[in-house]
């Protein structure tokens, strides 16, 4: 069985007194939370930070204590593990990595949940919102 691992983060900022979340519209057509494959000798946080910067141009600060893991099979004989953190940024001025990302959007929790393509991403986003509320 092939094992793949990616790391990323639910990214948020505040605008006009409301928390908003970054959602990526990918070149392949789906909407996702920022994430990418672990490279040699990287920690989970290093992978997430690198992928965020590569895909969005944003610098972030991780929120302590939040770590969600999802697993799924991309295809027969392959199991993928994705580790998500929670990260804050002060800037909404991102730049997309055009090879992978068509557009980034900043959305309310309600709009972000509705926009994400996969239920697992929606659940991670809702858990991040709950974590920030508590």
User: Residue 19: its pLDDT value, please?
Assistant: 97
**Does pLDDT of 23 surpass 90?**
yes
User: Residue 85: its pLDDT value, please?
Assistant: 98
Average of per-residue pLDDT across 24-44: 95
- Angstrom CA distances, 114 to 5, 76, 123, stand at 26, 29, 11
User: Residue 57: its pLDDT value, please?
Assistant: 95
Are the C-beta atoms of residues 24 and 32 closer than 8 Å to each other?
A: yes
pLDDT in tens, 83-132: 999 999 999 988 898 899 999 999 999 999 999 999 999 999 999 999 99
The architecture (CATH level 2) of 2-133 comes to: Alpha-Beta Complex (3.90)
pLDDT band (50, 70, 90) for residue 45: very high
The domain locations on the chain are: 2-133
The total number of residues written for the chain in this structure: 134
Q: Of the candidates 6, 14, 24, which has an alpha carbon nearest to the alpha carbon of residue 95? A: 24
Q: Round to whole Å and give the CA distance between 9 and 11.
A: 6
pLDDT in tens, 46-93: 999 999 999 999 999 999 999 999 999 878 888 999 999 999 999 998
């Amino acid at each position: 069985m092939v094992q793949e691992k990616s790391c990323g983060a639910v990214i948020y900022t505040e605008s006009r007194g409301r928390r908003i979340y970054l959602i990526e519209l990918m070149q392949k057509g789906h909407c996702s939370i920022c994430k990418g494959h672990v490279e040699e000798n990287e920690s989970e946080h290093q992978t997430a930070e690198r992928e965020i910067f590569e895909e969005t141009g944003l610098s972030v600060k991780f929120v302590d204590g939040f770590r969600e893991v999802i697993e799924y099979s991309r295809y027969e004989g392959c199991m993928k593990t994705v580790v998500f953190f929670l990260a804050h940024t002060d800037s909404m001025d991102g730049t997309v990595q055009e090879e992978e990302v068509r557009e980034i959007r900043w959305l309310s929790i309600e709009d972000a949940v509705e926009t994400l393509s996969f239920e697992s991403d929606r659940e991670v986003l809702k858990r991040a919102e709950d974590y920030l509320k508590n």
